[in-house]
Amino acid sequence: MDNGISERLLSSEVEKTNDDLKVRVYDESRKIWRVALPGVLSRVASFGSIIVTQSFIGHIGELDLAAYALVQTLTVRFVNGILIGMSSATETLCGQAYGAGQYHMMGIYLQRSWIVDFITLTVLLPFFIFATPIFKLLGQEESIADAAGYVSYWFIPVVYNFVFSLTIQMYLQAQQKNMIIAWLSVAQFVIHIPLSWLLVYQFEFGVPGAMIAHIFGGWCPNTWRGFTMDALKDIFPVVKLSISSGVMVCLELWYNAVLVLLAGYMKNAEVAISAFSICLNINGWEFMISLGFLGAACVRVANELGRGDAKATRFSIKVLVSTSILVGLFFWILCLAFGSKIGYLFTNEKEVADAVSELSLLLAFSVLLNSIYPVLSGVAVGAGLQSTVAIINLCCYYLIGIPIGAVLGYVANLEVQGIWLGMICGVVTQSIALCYMTWRTDWDNEVAKAKQRLQKFYLKSDESNQLA
């Protein structure tokens, strides 16, 4: 009799625990998707403009496609990597400040990021102005390098656009007010398609312009108090964090760029670069979904660390990784099913389309891996662990991935497939390392570090010298 009562009580407790877990998972998932969905929509739409442009250019000719691919994958990715990385310092500081209730500091962090990123980009302009001689110096074919030099000039206004769009997106995302970014980006993408059909090439400033107007128009009254001279105070520690953030992301984004560079040294360079870049951009487009989860991971981890809740941080990481892997499995299946036909969306050349088809299986597994390491990178950004991830990226990509890719591509004569296999080896190693790092991290200690970081940069609201 007593055993029966005990079993019923135990069963009741188990059901209650399961119900509590379901509620916690649901609440955490709702918080994640509130940040991730707008981030996914905005990034997929923004990157989609690049894909649409590449598709239209690819139907003009192989040379134009190869030139565009070289600039977009090497120069733009190189510069964009620096800006995204340095802007992720804004993501760390704003996320933790919002979690700690230091709302007025977020506007100051945003202004500091504008100053740092704008100066950085201006220093990097020669990479666009002297693109042709740089590509020739790197050993690319003369015809491709000449065409790429012309294309690079058109990207200059786009990269200046990144200074504001990236930082403002991270600032709004930390407050979970980034739905406006999603709708603006989707609208830009919808407009971009007919404009590409009419003009082939079109760049706009609509999204960041609208976001700036939103902020200045009083949409963020607690976090935007106007321009202030406080943005110039303590800027060097912010620069230091921005540099470590920049190195972390750059090593990741430049990895693909180096592989494209290797493809350019193959016998049929135009086909190799075109096919490789098409697959990389498809992978990159799906990767924008992963970046949405990266942003959600950063915001959730930073917010919980700012609040001082290590237990909630650990639970959020588990839900984030599980959700992202499920999404990755869905797109993995799609790539396996339709991978052989993707090439014809970008080119009429059978040789290029066949080369893309040969890479479709490797593309599918790269898409699956996209669901793991970006989320863990987002966890690191939220906790301010960028320096550690930078070391992991350096070792996994440049000491493992690229050498293996070069050996398989040139020595084993697997060409583009060999280079991609090397890339996957680097990503697998990185994913394992990030999993281990996340598992071994003392999140109670990270709560204490976040508190120290916020105290270090904190300025009282009434001390701010408002200019606007």
Res 214: pLDDT:
43
> In this predicted structure, what is the pLDDT of residue 203?
43
pLDDT over 60 (residue 8) = no
Give the rounded distance of the alpha carbon of 30 from its chain centre: 22
pLDDT at 358: 81
Cα gap 249→389, rounded to integer Å: 9
Q: Are 155 and 71 in contact (CB under 8 A)?
A: yes
Most confident stretch, 235-239, 261-265, 295-299: 295-299
Tokens of 374: 């970006």
Structural tokens at position 13: 């407790």
**pLDDT for res 206:** 39
* Residues 167 and 117: beta-carbon distance below 8 Å: yes
SS3 125: coil
- pLDDT in the model for residue 463: 45
Tokens of 195: 């404009």
Name the residue with tokens 């080896």.
Answer: 425
- Asked whether residue 241 carries a pLDDT value surpassing 90, the answer given is no
Q: Is the model's pLDDT at 146 over the cut of 70? A: yes
CA-based nearest residue to 349, from 244, 271, 240, 260? 271
Residues 6+ apart with CB under 8 A from 170: 87, 88, 90, 91, 94, 295
d(CA 310, CA 281): 37
H or E element, residue 146: helix 142-154
Say yes or no to pLDDT of 209 above 80: no
- The larger pLDDT score, comparing residue 283 to residue 437, is at 437
pLDDT at 234: 61
8 A C-beta contact, residue 393 and residue 430: yes
Q: Is the pLDDT of residue 461 over 70?
A: no
Task: Give bridge partners of residue 466 from the DSSP assignment.
Answer: 228
For the segment 25-33, the average pLDDT, to the nearest whole number, is 87
Is pLDDT at 202 greater than 50 in this prediction? no
Highest mean pLDDT among 32-46, 190-204, 257-271, 411-425: 411-425
Mean of the per-residue pLDDT values for the chain?
75
Residue 387 phi, psi dihedral angles, 5° rounding: -60, -40
pLDDT, one tens digit per residue, over 322-355 is 999 998 899 899 888 877 777 777 777 778 788 7
- Record the tokens describing residue 171, joined without a space: 């600032």
Identify which of 57-61, 132-136, 359-363 has the greatest average pLDDT: 132-136
Mean pLDDT of the region 446-460: 72
Residue with the bigger pLDDT between 368 and 237: it is 368
Sequence-distant (≥ 6) Cβ neighbours of residue 24 within 8 angstroms: 315
Angstrom distances, CA of residue 41 to CA of 184, 301, 349, 436, 446: 10, 21, 31, 30, 31
- Coil, helix or strand for 76? helix
pLDDT per position as a tens digit, 62-95: 677 777 777 877 788 778 777 777 776 777 777 7
The amino acid occupying position 37 is: L
CA distance 91 to 176: 12
Rounded alpha-carbon distances, angstroms, from residue 449 to 305, 312, 376, 383: 9, 16, 19, 9
